[in-house]
Amino acid sequence: MNTNKRHINVVWFKRDLRLQDNEAVFNATKTGIPTLLLYVFEQSLVNDSHYSPRHWNFIKQSLVDINKQLETSNTQVLSVSSEMLQVLNAIQEIYKIDSVFSHQETGLKITYERDKTFKRYCKNNQINWVENTNNGIFRALRNRTNWVSKWEEYMNEPQFIFDSKSNNFLNLEAIGELEEALEKTNLETIPDTIFQKGGSKMGGKYLQTFFDERYHNYNAHISKPLLARKSCSRLSPYIAWGNLSSRQVLQKAATFKLSCSDKKQIDSFVSRLTWQAHFIQKFEMEEIMEFESVNKGFHSLKKKVNENYIEAWKTGQTGFPLIDASMRCLNETGYLNFRMRAMLVSFFTHNLWQPWQEASKHLSQMFLDFEPGIHFPQLQMQAGETGINMLRIYNPIKNSYEHDPEGEFIKKWVPELRNLPRAFVHEPNKMTYLDQKFNEFEVGVHYPKQIVNMERTRKYASDLLWKMKKNPLVKEESSRILRLHTMADIGDSE
The pLDDT tens digits of the residues spanning 222-255 come to 999 999 999 999 999 999 999 999 999 999 999 9
The proportion of the chain whose per-residue pLDDT surpasses 90, expressed as a percent, equals 92
**pLDDT for the residue 485:** 78
In angstroms, the CA 244 to CA 370 distance is: 15
Instruction: Tell me which long-range contacts 464-470 makes (C-beta under 8 A, separation of at least 24).
Output: 465/384, 465/391, 466/391, 468/297, 468/298, 468/301, 469/387, 469/391
How many other CB atoms are there within 10 angstroms of residue 423's CB atom? 13
CB-based contacts of 154, cutoff 8 Å, min separation 6:
133, 136, 247
CB-based contacts of 69, cutoff 8 Å, min separation 6:
19, 164, 200
Does the domain formed by 200-284 have CATH 3.30.450.20?
no
Spatial contact of 198 and 65, defined as CB atoms under 8 Å apart? yes
In angstroms, the CA 12 to CA 78 distance is: 10
Mean pLDDT of the chain: 95
Q: Name the CATH code of domain 6-134 (choices 3.40.50.620, 3.40.630.90, 3.90.1300.10, 3.40.50.300).
A: 3.40.50.620
Q: Does 289-480 match 6-134 at the fold level?
A: no
The pLDDT tens digits of the residues spanning 313-358 come to 999 999 999 999 999 999 999 999 999 999 999 999 999 999 999 9
In angstroms, the CA 385 to CA 481 distance is: 12
Edge-to-edge strands of the sheet including 78-82? Answer: 78-82, 35-42, 6-12, 95-103, 128-132
Torsion angle defined by CA atoms of residues 107, 369, 375 and 186, in that order, rounded to the nearest 10 degrees: -40
| Angle, CA 373 vertex, CA 103 and CA 99 arms, to 5° | 10
Indicate the fold that domain 289-480 takes in CATH: DNA Cyclobutane Dipyrimidine Photolyase, subunit A; domain 3 (1.10.579)
Q: Cβ-count burial of 24 within 10 angstroms (0-12 exposed, 13-18 middle, 19+ buried)?
A: buried
CB-based contacts of 126, cutoff 8 Å, min separation 6:
none
Spatial contact of 223 and 41, defined as CB atoms under 8 Å apart? no
The pLDDT tens digits of the residues spanning 186-211 come to 999 998 789 999 999 999 999 999 99
pTM: 0.95
What are the structural domain ranges in the chain?
Answer: 6-134, 200-284, 289-480
Spatial contact of 243 and 17, defined as CB atoms under 8 Å apart? yes
490 pLDDT band, cuts 50/70/90, is: very low
CA-atom Rg of the chain in angstroms: 24
214 pLDDT band, cuts 50/70/90, is: very high
Name the nearest CA neighbour of 427 among 393, 450, 444: 450
**pLDDT for the residue 36:** 98
- For 39, the enclosing helix (H) or strand (E) is strand 35-42
In angstroms, the CA 282 to CA 271 distance is: 17
The values of phi and psi at residue 241, to 5°, are -95, 0
390 pLDDT band, cuts 50/70/90, is: confident
